Amino acid sequence: MSKNRRKIIAANWKMNLTIGQGKELVHNILKEKDLPCEVVFAPPFTHLSEIKKITSDRDKVFLAAQNCHHESSGAFTGEISTDMLKDMGVQMVIVGHSERRELFGDTGKWINQKIKACLKRNLQPIFCFGEKLEQREQNQHFETVGKQIKEGLSGLSEAQIQDVIFAYEPVWAIGTGHTATPGQAEEMHQFVREEISSTSSDQVARSVPILYGGSVKPANASELLSCPNIDGALVGGASLKANDFLSIVAAV
């Protein structure tokens, strides 16, 4: 697993696109031969093996799942284990996305177990956290994010934390068109680095990538990505169109 802080643009397709549409999208994006950063595709589970066939021979291109179960096998109808993902050639897993927390009841404890399961299988977790609108309005955004980070990293060694990709996604900015201002995002990313430092070390905090997510689009990408503590983006809506996604990648 790579341990360096680097620029990453990740595409979270959520529950969108057929396999054919997904393949066409990836083909169109990968027509760009000179990617300036790492690019991650997180399609639905059903698309992973087909998308892997297109991405496997490309440098700097990685495949992620959108979720996993923390047990390696067993009676968990409808779930997918990290062993199964590893078997398919997946390299990363989105863990703790706010839609999982809100709509499917993923708790801080589960998220921690999922992160541990990923790391055990050499899969890099893309660990998401972020406050809701009312928490920001009540000035509880730092407290909320601090708690989510502590829960997610609980029991992890410094070496393990070094392999985590962090993603700050304010819930009020996801799919709403309301992006955090570069100032709001940078301030939180700085705070996240301080939290990581207090859980591990300053060296680890400085060396992990922290992505921003929430209505990232071509029009706001360069402003956000030029902030010193923002190492990339986790993109939902705008990752479904090759031109939009490539403009965000180019903004790096």
How far apart are alpha carbons 164 and 200 in whole angstroms?
Answer: 12
Q: Among residues 46 and 176, whose Cβ is nearest to ligand PGA?
A: 176
Shortest CB 215 distance to ligand PGA, Å: 4
Question: Do 116 and 70 touch, CB atoms closer than 8 A?
Answer: yes
The verdict on 163 binding ligand PGA (CB under 6 A) reads no
| Site size toward ligand PGA, by CB under 6 A | 13
How far apart are alpha carbons 49 and 36 in whole angstroms?
Answer: 25
Q: Which of 55, 160, 200, 215 binds ligand PGA (CB under 6 A)?
A: 215
Q: Among residues 174 and 225, whose Cβ is nearest to ligand PGA?
A: 174
3-state class (DSSP) for residue 225: helix
Shortest CB 42 distance to ligand PGA, Å: 9
The residue nearest ligand PGA at its CB is 236
Site string for ligand PGA, 173-212 (x = CB under 6 A): -xx-------------------------------------
Q: Which helix (H) or strand (E) holds 112?
A: helix 108-120
Which two tokens mark 222?
């360069």
Shortest CB 128 distance to ligand PGA, Å: 7
Half-sphere exposure of 203 (CA within 13 A, CB side): 3
Q: What are the angstrom distances between the C-alpha of 45 and each of 84, 175, 196?
A: 10, 21, 30
The verdict on 235 binding ligand PGA (CB under 6 A) reads yes
Shortest CB 94 distance to ligand PGA, Å: 8
Shortest CB 136 distance to ligand PGA, Å: 16
The verdict on 224 binding ligand PGA (CB under 6 A) reads no
Q: Among residues 169 and 195, whose Cβ is nearest to ligand PGA?
A: 169
Kindly name the residue from 97, 141, 186, 189 that is annotated as catalytic: 97
Give 238's DSSP letter.
G
The end-to-end CA distance of the chain, in Å, is 22
φ and ψ of 135, to 5 deg: -70, -35
The verdict on 213 binding ligand PGA (CB under 6 A) reads yes
* Sign, CA torsion 91/159/59/190: positive
Q: Which of 163, 169, 231, 244 binds ligand PGA (CB under 6 A)?
A: 169
48-59: b or e for each residue (b if 16 or more CB lie within 10 Å)? beebbebbeeee
169 has catalytic annotation: yes
Known catalytic residues are 97, 169
List of residues contacting ligand PGA (CB under 6 A): 12, 169, 174-175, 213-216, 234-238
